[in-house]
Structure 1
Amino acid sequence: MLVHNFLHESARRLPEKKALICREQTFTYRELSKRVLNLKAVLLEMGLKKGERVGIYLENSPEAVVSIFATLSAGGCFAIINPTIKARKLRYILQNSSPGFLITTSTQKGVFDEAAEGLKAAPRMLSINEEPFRQIFAGTGGEKSAKNETRIIDNDLAAIIYTSGSTGNPKGVTMTHRNMYSAAASITAYLENVEDDIILNTLPFSFDYGLYQLLMSFKIGGTLILEKGFGYPFQIIELIKKEKVTGLPCVPTILAILLQLENLESQDLTSVRYITNTAAQLPKGYIPRLKAAFPNARIYSMYGLTECKRVSYLPPELIDKKPGSVGIPMPNLECWIEDEEGRELPPGEIGELVVRGASVMQCYWNDPEGTSAILKKGKYPFEKKLYTGDLFRMDDEGCLYFVGRKDDLIKSRGERIAPKEIEDVIYDIPEVLGVRVIGVPHEIFGQAIKAEIVIKNGSELNEKEVKSHCKNHLEDLMVPHLIEFVKELPISESGKIKRKDY
């Protein structure tokens, strides 16, 4: 039940099988396992301690894959960091997680230096472009033997996955090996994954949905086709046909782009046996078009949150009958709906979704207050139940329907985004007097980010300048889609800007 053994066990069983295809590079399980063990030996030699955090500040790449499994094999805990984040957020993550090492590229040194300035204990930066790491990732060096092997058990910390919090600072979701093994086992069970599966992943590893494509593929001994992102849709279609892709994880944004392609139904996409969708509701109108384009694919509509990975899935045979549902609890997980007094609600009534099971996180790293707000005393003295902060209803057959969010976070393109972080950046513009960032309904993104801005009299600040400023200080997914200049913002009795107009 150790996550790194997903790779090493598949390397033992299927050493010469293709494990990873990344652009022009192809790796067998044996080749990846060798690189992982060599990097593990170097990390231990450099002094990596059991449970110590290793930041992985890389885009989707073979180097990121090797870094994840080497960190785990050495007894460390990995934290994938979105490579597009700027120094402000990187500094917070480094302060919060206190990693001993940060694996990145030499091109990120400037951002790292800015983020690390003033830190009491900055991590040691390890560049994949420099020796000995360049040889390790290229597979050209000799085999290295690890000294001082660390004993690892499934209750040890495996990962910290950062997700936005209501304060604007990201929250570190802590997952043990047992948590991640349980989630991967449950999802591969209902997807009926087999080692013949070829999974195409265009989602970033910093998004848990993307990360688990890697973990699940290696667990079953499948093949993962890894892309940096979803760039050119025609290239993705050609890749599906060329590699005979069987699994296609998506979010509505990706599906919308695919379905805009002319003559999609004329392409031979019969190899795809399943499509998964999460992050936002699958628009009902997409379903018949997906069935026409992917005639052999089972379509899974799912719901989850980083704090427990996945909660539910809609069995594909119900997709036409209940297109608005996100289904039933996944294996090895239980959920129900409560009112504000903690009473379990009957079918049809709306309340907060509550979850218990082996995949529920341990805590928010170094955030006891945030942890206590979401994890409460469970059914047994030794467990906690997770309050999702999402409003749901359940039908008479036990299928779940997402209603809305309890808090102010914006859920756009599968990510939870804190308005305050965007507001802080916009407030840095001298002409800005006030700003409110809200989410507005969007068919594809779930919610689009809208910034309402009050500027100084006589200011000529325009939408293009605001977006340019945001692009320079925020990752791409946090840049507002809509900018509106207003005369005033709604103010509460306490003098705070209201999130809602009522």
Structure 2
Amino acid sequence: MEIFTLSDLLDARAESHGDKVAVSHNGETRTYQEVQEAVGRFAQVLAERGTRAGDRVVVLLPNSIDALVCLFAVVRLRATAVIVNDRLKPRQVGHIVGHSEAGAVVTNLRLGALLKHPETAATAVIDVAQVPMDGVPPAVTTNRASPVIGRDLATLIYTSGSTGRPKGVMVTHANLLAGARIVATFLELTPADRTLSLLPWSFDAGLNQVLATFWAAGTLVIGSTAHSPQICRELAAERITGVTGVPPLWEMLTKRPSTFLDQELPDLRYASNTGGALRSETLQRIRRAHPGTDFYLMYGLTEAFRSTYLPPERTGAPPSAIGRAIPDTEILVLDEAGRRCAPGEVGELVHRGPTVATGYWRDSEATARVFRPYPFAPQGAVPEYVVHSGDYVHVDEEGWLTYVGRRDEQFKSRGFRVNPTEIESVLLASTLVSEAVVFADASDTGESVVAAAIVPADASEFQLARLEAYCARELPGHQQPARIHVLTTLPRTPSGKVDRARVKQEWTRTEDAGGVVAAGAGDHRATG
């Protein structure tokens, strides 16, 4: 059968691979046929509780079989699923529930405390434990009266809010299926693949893992823990063929007590990184430990899901290299006047293709600013919209892209324009640092100076003087950090990425704090 919506995808897999295990979690499994039947039952309950086409339904659950069934049940009713990370706080959950104007929240008793916020008070709450997942399939198919089409909204994906309150990105069925098809294509997924799902499904990359696996009729194995030794055991015991992580996850897996670098994983065909630059040293250690595993580096943005990828044969490139456009996608590099940049010239990355979302929920001003008409369409063509990422890159003669940084994070130091990403890359190349965030801080004279929050690669061996000497040797004066904050960890967004906004908020100097403060959990050393 042809696939135009998420419901079509599930129905097609139930028809072609009905007896195959679709999902596994903590020893519990469901075949594609069983998932389809459970979705029908859940959709029936949601319809009886008042969910109609066009409604928003919040899914406040950890990654689980229940959450998977709920997602497909919501979209089967032509409603819109709003997947919320269960690690958020009541204020954040309240904002998403209120801003999305959700008609219902599906959750469990343990997470009910997250709904103790005024914005959630009038929203119906459905306890997932009260919804039958087994038994006789419903006699009535709930999506026939109001058919789902590809242009319908499937989900609102709320951004992490690193530059303000989270915005709801409007994503259609067609967007999600295009992303699933594209990733399944370049990762060469097949029904034999077993994908380990570790990223939250509220994160676009985490949701894509689910859908790309289903597109290929593979098996999704939902990770049971964030503890590195257990992740390593699951990789081996579940015979995982593919896994995707963010940089903090890969750093954790390459340090004790993890056994990732010591164990044999003959089934692990590929691994990939998203959500930020991965240190070259970390990538090299992974490649040496698992030479038979292809490693893909990916760059993307929530508004268009995935934009570029660096294939395994080029993963020796610098951390700032982000590859080239994913299939069926055009990446434009444009200057301030909207003209194409020449090779080597820095410009804004603009994404064109089938994964471009339809805008921001209830925010026409931000939508008009980010989603703009394709500037090179033939005269008289139907309008097509592209995403202006706010990220600056340059491209070489062969089409390979290098990340430069975000325009809104650049600042001036000693009269020179400073790009934090460039300095971070140098810090990470020192091998003394595993993570770094560079930002502008105030000096006694009122001028901006360079500050850096870093996590040592080896805390027991780290010497601040060695890093300062390295910076003096490798960086020009205007790029050298005037203050280095040495932390045990960096704050994270719910998707696991470094929370750059919180770093700057917590570590920007508000008064003269020269000298050295003992480092510890949440403490820092400031060099002035």
Fold match by TM threshold 0.5: yes
1:480 is displaced (CA, Å) by: 5.2
Q: Which residue number in structure 2 is paired with residue 332 of structure 1?
A: 328
Spell out the pairing of 1:15-414 with structure 2 (5 A cutoff).
15-116=18-119, 122-129=122-129, 131=130, 133=131, 136-137=132-133, 139-140=134-135, 143-147=138-142, 149-165=145-161, 168-229=164-225, 231-261=226-256, 264-320=260-316, 324-378=320-374, 379-380=376-377, 381-408=382-409
1:485 and 1:317 map into 2 onto residues whose CA distance is 40
Write the letter of the residue equivalent to 1:128: V
Unaligned runs of 5+ in 1: 420-437, 446-462, 490-502
| Closer/same/farther in 2, CA of residues 389 and 324 from structure 1, 3 Å limit | closer
Spell out the pairing of 1:390-469 with structure 2 (5 A cutoff).
390-408=391-409, 440=452, 442=454
1:386 and 1:480 map into 2 onto residues whose CA distance is 26
If asked which structure has higher relative contact order (CA below 8 Å, sep 6+), I would say 1
1:165 and 1:484 map into 2 onto residues whose CA distance is 18
2:229 and 2:298 map into 1 onto residues whose CA distance is 26
Describe the superposition over 1:410-452 as per-residue Cα deviations: whole angstroms up to 9, x where unpaired.
Answer: 999xxxx9x9xxxxxxxxxxxxxxxxxx99465799xxxxxxx
Retained in 2: the 8 A contact 1:183–1:309? yes
Question: Does the residue aligned with 1:361 lie in a helix, a strand or coil?
Answer: coil
Describe the superposition over 1:50-103 as per-residue Cα deviations: whole angstroms up to 9, x where unpaired.
Answer: 121111011111111000011111211101011122222222212221111111
2:279 and 2:116 map into 1 onto residues whose CA distance is 43
Question: Does the residue aligned with 1:170 lie in a helix, a strand or coil?
Answer: coil
Retained in 2: the 8 A contact 1:325–1:402? yes
| Closer/same/farther in 2, CA of residues 78 and 319 from structure 1, 3 Å limit | same
2:11 and 2:367 map into 1 onto residues whose CA distance is 34
Question: Does the residue aligned with 1:488 lie in a helix, a strand or coil?
Answer: coil
Write the letter of the residue equivalent to 1:127: D
Greater Cα shift, 289-298 or 260-269? 260-269
1:76 and 1:65 map into 2 onto residues whose CA distance is 15
Retained in 1: the 8 A contact 2:150–2:174? yes
Residue 12 of structure 1 pairs with residue 15 of structure 2: yes
Identity %: 31
2:300 and 2:261 map into 1 onto residues whose CA distance is 30
Retained in 2: the 8 A contact 1:87–1:115? no
Write the letter of the residue equivalent to 1:357: G
| Closer/same/farther in 2, CA of residues 486 and 153 from structure 1, 3 Å limit | closer
Question: Does the residue aligned with 1:385 lie in a helix, a strand or coil?
Answer: strand
Write the letter of the residue equivalent to 1:49: R
Question: Does the residue aligned with 1:362 lie in a helix, a strand or coil?
Answer: coil
| Closer/same/farther in 2, CA of residues 228 and 265 from structure 1, 3 Å limit | closer
Retained in 2: the 8 A contact 1:308–1:359? yes
1:474 and 1:358 map into 2 onto residues whose CA distance is 27
Question: Does the residue aligned with 1:311 lie in a helix, a strand or coil?
Answer: strand
1:444 and 1:45 map into 2 onto residues whose CA distance is 55
Greater Cα shift, 91-100 or 177-186? 91-100
Describe the superposition over 1:112-137 as per-residue Cα deviations: whole angstroms up to 9, x where unpaired.
Answer: 142436x6xx33111113x3x1xx23
2:248 and 2:509 map into 1 onto residues whose CA distance is 29
1:239 is displaced (CA, Å) by: 1.2
| Closer/same/farther in 2, CA of residues 474 and 396 from structure 1, 3 Å limit | closer
Retained in 1: the 8 A contact 2:172–2:358? yes
Retained in 2: the 8 A contact 1:308–1:361? yes
Retained in 2: the 8 A contact 1:40–1:70? yes
Unaligned runs of 5+ in 2: 411-419, 425-436, 440-449, 458-484, 513-528
Write the letter of the residue equivalent to 1:63: D
Q: Which residue number in structure 1 is paired with residue 511 of structure 2?
A: 488
Q: How many residues are aligned here?
A: 436
Greater Cα shift, 296-305 or 142-151? 142-151
| Closer/same/farther in 2, CA of residues 323 and 166 from structure 1, 3 Å limit | closer
| Closer/same/farther in 2, CA of residues 79 and 88 from structure 1, 3 Å limit | same
Retained in 2: the 8 A contact 1:44–1:146? no
User: With structure 1 as the length reference, what TM-score do the two structures score?
Assistant: 0.79
